Amino acid sequence: MNQADNLFHRLDAHCAALEAQLIAWRRDFHQHPELSNREFRTASVVAEHLRALGLDVREQVAHTGVVGLLRGGRPGPVVALRADMDALPVAEEVDLPFASRARAQFNGAEVPVMHACGHDAHTAILMTVAVVLAGIRAELPGTVKFIFQPAEETPPRGETGGAAQMIAEGVLEDPVPAAIFGLHVIAGIETGRIGYRPGPTMASSDEMRITVDGCQCHGAMPWMGVDPIVVASQVVLGLQTIASRQVDVTREPSIITVGAIHGGVRNNIIPDRVELIGTIRTFDESMRSDIAARVQHTASHIAQSAGARASVEVERGYDVTVNHPALTEQMLPTLLRVAGVDQVFLAPKLTGAEDFSCYQQRIPGLFFFLGITPPGSPPGQVASNHSPRFRIDESGLLLGVRALCHLAWDFLAAPEGDG
C-alpha cells in the first residue's frame, strides 16, 4: 500500500467510525428544526463542536451563520466546504421517533417546521467531516474553511440572509478559498450513488408578480365591468406559450409557473383586482432576461385586449448554479474513487435553485447530488424534497462525509497549477 492509499484508507476508516455519531447529529437536528435566519440552536451546536476540535470559529455571520477555520500543519491552498442549516414551514408526515413537532413564526403566521429538504443531513455531514480532517491536521497541506450557512431557503420577508449575505460579511475572505465544494441529498437518487454535472446544473429562480386590474361589478352583469379573473386565467395560459412556443427549447430548458392566484371575496361579485404570483426558472442568463421581458409583454397585452391593465414585477432571485468545468473534471476521479465507477453518474439539469451559485460567482465551485433513497423503491412512491413525507435513508450519509473529506484532501494535495 503506497502513501496515498494508506491516507485514503485512514480517512475512510475514520469516517466509518463516526457513522453512529453522524446519524445521531442528523436526528437531533431533524427533531429540532429551525427556519431561515432563526437557526439559533443549530448554530450554537455547530460552533461549540468546531471549537472543541480546536478550529478558529466565527459566529453570527449573516445572522446565524458559523464559519470554522482548520489550519493544516503543512503549507498549501485554502478550500471551502459548505452546508446549509435551515428547515422549511412544512408539517412532517413521516412516522419517525425523532419526527419534528416544532412550530414557529414565519412571515407573521404560526407554522409547522420540518427539515423537508435534508439540510439537517448536510449540517451533520459537514460536522463529521470537520472531525475527520481535524484528525489529520498535522498532515493537512493547507487550510479548510467550514461554512455553515443559514437561510438557503430564503430569509423571511424584509430580511437579508443566505449565501449572498455570508459573502457580503466576508466569508470568502481572510483567507480566500481557491475552490468550494457542497452537496445536496436528493430523493429519487438511490443510496450509494452520486450525481454530478459540469456547467449549468441548477436553475436560476426569479419571483414573478402580476397584478390584473379590471372594473368591479355584479357577477350577474359582467358586461357592466371588466372581469380580471377571466383575464388572469388568459394570462396564465398565455404565459405557457413563452416556454413552449417563443423560446428555443433546444437551447436550454425553462419553466414559468403560476403558483397562486388571489382575487375576489364573494360568488356574485366580480372584483377590481386579481394578483398572480409565480416563479421563472432558466439555465442561461440571456434567456432569463428575454423571458422576463416576454412575461411583461404577454401579460400586459392580454390584459389590454380585454380592457384591463396588467402590471408585472420580476424580482431576480438565485442565479444559475454553474459547476466550474475544469474543477469538475479535476475532481471527478475523486468521486469515482470514493463511490465507485458504477455509482457516479452524469446528473440531468435540476430546475430547483440553490444559492450555492453565489459562491460559484466568486470562486470555482462544485456542487453534487447524494442519493438517499433505498434501491428498489417504487419511483412513483418516493416523496420529493420539500414534501411532508420526505424521508432520508441514513445509510447514504456516510458516502457524503467520505466524498467531502476526499475532495478537500485531493484538492489541497494537488500539484500546484492543478487547482
Gap between the Cα atoms of 162 and 166, Å rounded: 6
Contact (Cβ atoms closer than 8 angstroms) between residue 52 and residue 130: no
Residues in the chain, how many? 419
Gap between the Cα atoms of 62 and 149, Å rounded: 8
Gap between the Cα atoms of 314 and 324, Å rounded: 28
At position 84, the amino acid (one-letter code) is D
Cβ-based neighbours of 373, under 8 Å, separated by 6 or more:
187, 188, 189, 190, 191, 382, 393
Contact (Cβ atoms closer than 8 angstroms) between residue 150 and residue 162: yes
User: Hey, what's the cell of 362?
Assistant: 466568486
Catalytic annotation, pick one of 318, 329, 354, 359: 318
Gap between the Cα atoms of 196 and 198, Å rounded: 7
Catalytic residue flag (residue 275):
no
Sign of the torsion angle spanned by Cα atoms 223, 229, 230, 231: positive
User: Beta strands 103-106 and 194-196: pairing type?
Assistant: unpaired
DSSP 3-state of 45: helix
Q: What share of the chain is helix, strand, coil (3-state, %, to 5)?
A: 35, 30, 35
Helix 119-134 / helix 19-31 crossing angle, nearest 10 deg: 140
Cβ-based neighbours of 3, under 8 Å, separated by 6 or more:
none
Gap between the Cα atoms of 346 and 303, Å rounded: 43
CA distances from 192 to 259, 262, 388, 400 (A): 34, 44, 23, 9
- Residue 45 sits at φ, ψ, to 5 deg, of -60, -45
Catalytic residue flag (residue 318):
yes
Q: Is 207 exposed, middle or buried (0-12, 13-18, 19+ CB in 10 A)?
A: middle
Q: What is the DSSP letter of 137?
A: G
Contact (Cβ atoms closer than 8 angstroms) between residue 369 and residue 195: yes
Active site residues: 318, 394
